[in-house]
Amino acid sequence: MSELGGRTLDWVDGAILMVDQTKLPTSVEMLRITMVSDLVDAIRRLSVRGAPAIGVAGAFGVALAASTNGVGTPGFEADVESIRSARPTAVNLAKMVDRVVSVSGGGPEAVLAEAMAVRNEELAASLHMGDRGADLMAEITGGSGSIRALTICNTGGLASVERGTALAVIQTLHERGCLEEAIALETRPLLQGARLTAWELQQMAAPFRLIVDSAGPHLISRGFADVVLAGADRIAANGDTANKIGTFSLALAARHSGVPFVIVAPESTIDMATACGGDIQIENRGDDEVVCFGGVPVAPEGTRTINPAFDVTPSDLITAIVTDTRVVRLDQGETLDTVRS
Ligand code: MRU
């Protein structure tokens, strides 16, 4: 990661350089990607993951496609489509691919410049989300200088180039001396919480504990968290939010217990073209992730599974959505339409 100066993903010397997230926390290994097919594979097997990060990776992928095939060629179009459809739920991927393709008339240089702009915007967005989110935490916890935040999946620099979304808020609280404790859900089946969030919290020397997913609602109900902070893969126009499977049950528990439930995501994750959560396509993943744990079988051979990677939290369970440009207080009747940046 030192090659990337703290970033987890970047464009370096005509290639995409990224931390291979499947190898964490046991080893920090870099992937250098020069072919679109390798990028698509990396996105599908979650070597790079998290909505903003796959948006940036997708943008860089279009730059690779342009430099390999030239723009507007059948090879370019085919590469673009394979990147765009590598994962369906996080809107950032298709949105950033489309954005970069829209300037392809200007040739490969214009494509790369746009991809760099996407990266730069996500870097700036993480800083703004951290600040806005930490300010909101102070407000909704009554100026508390000691906040306990429960979070799911991984929403840190690994998920968005640097600092992240919900984890950026936790990092900012920690830097301000206001974080009593972060509680991270392990996040079955792929353990992004245990493998990645715990690793990132350790890197930032923040106080934290790790829990199994099913302990989340119980601990919320017993007063272990002042706030639940989650990221988003797609926010529909009405505020319904798709995020890692398990998020919805945390929101239900938070509402039941009177604990604020806050979504932190960049504007790039808002999809005003999708009216509500029911219209969001949920990615279903393979049996292996459920019937094996760390590669070891834990269910009888032949067991069939249902493995949705995401769920949708209805907007009426969400206290606020914090973006890089605004805070939308859904609990106060504000909507994505009424609150402008
Ligand atoms: O399947 P993943 O690991 O890509 O899922 C990621 C999440 O659900 C994150 O919470 C979301 O993308 C927000 S990341 C800043």
232 lines ligand 1 (CB under 6 A): yes
Residue percentage of the chain with pLDDT more than 90: 95
pLDDT digits (tens, 9 = 90+) for 224-257: 999 999 999 999 999 999 999 999 999 999 999 9
Q: Structure tokens of 204? A: 């930032």
Tell whether the model's pLDDT for residue 128 goes beyond 90: yes
* Domains of the chain, each with CATH number or no CATH: 2-121 (1.20.120.420), 128-332 (3.40.50.10470)
Select which of 226, 233, 311, 324 is catalytic. Answer: 233
pLDDT digits (tens, 9 = 90+) for 55-79: 999 999 999 999 999 999 999 999 9
DSSP state of 239: S
Among 171, 243, 280, residue to substitute to test ligand 1 (most atoms within 8 Å of Cβ): 243
What pLDDT is attached to residue 100? 98
Query: How far apart are the C-alpha atoms of 43 and 39, rounded to whole Å?
Result: 6
* Helix, strand or coil, per DSSP, at residue 16: strand
Tell whether the model's pLDDT for residue 169 goes beyond 70: yes
What pLDDT is attached to residue 288? 96
* Helix, strand or coil, per DSSP, at residue 146: coil
For helices 51-69 and 91-101, give the axis angle rounded to 10 degrees: 30
| Average pLDDT in the chain | 96
What pLDDT is attached to residue 1? 63
Which atom of ligand 1 is nearest the CA belonging to 167? Answer: 15
What pLDDT is attached to residue 248? 98
| pLDDT range class, residue 340, cuts 50, 70, 90 | confident
| CA distances, 122 to each of 92, 104, 125 (Å) | 11, 21, 5
pLDDT digits (tens, 9 = 90+) for 250-273: 999 999 999 999 999 999 999 999
192 lines ligand 1 (CB under 6 A): yes
pLDDT digits (tens, 9 = 90+) for 7-25: 999 999 999 999 999 999 9
What pLDDT is attached to residue 220? 98
Tell me the CA–centroid distance for residue 138 and ligand 1, in Å. Answer: 25
What pLDDT is attached to residue 321? 98
Cα–Cα nearest to 8, from 152, 169, 155: 155
Q: What is the pTM of this model?
A: 0.97
What pLDDT is attached to residue 3? 72
233 lines ligand 1 (CB under 6 A): yes
Span 101-120, mean pLDDT? Answer: 98
Span 151-176, mean pLDDT? Answer: 97
What pLDDT is attached to residue 2? 58
Cβ-count burial of 98 within 10 angstroms (0-12 exposed, 13-18 middle, 19+ buried)?
Answer: middle
Query: How far apart are the C-alpha atoms of 220 and 340, rounded to whole Å?
Result: 32
CA 51, distance to chain mean position in Å, is: 4
Span 307-311, mean pLDDT? Answer: 98
Q: Does the annotation count 79 as an active-site position?
A: no
Query: How far apart are the C-alpha atoms of 208 and 330, rounded to whole Å?
Result: 28
* Residues 6 or more apart in contact with residue 288 via CB below 8 angstroms: none
Q: Which residues of 244-272 are buried (b: 16+ CB within 10 A; e: fewer)?
A: bbbbbbbbbbbbeeebbbbbbbbbbbbbe
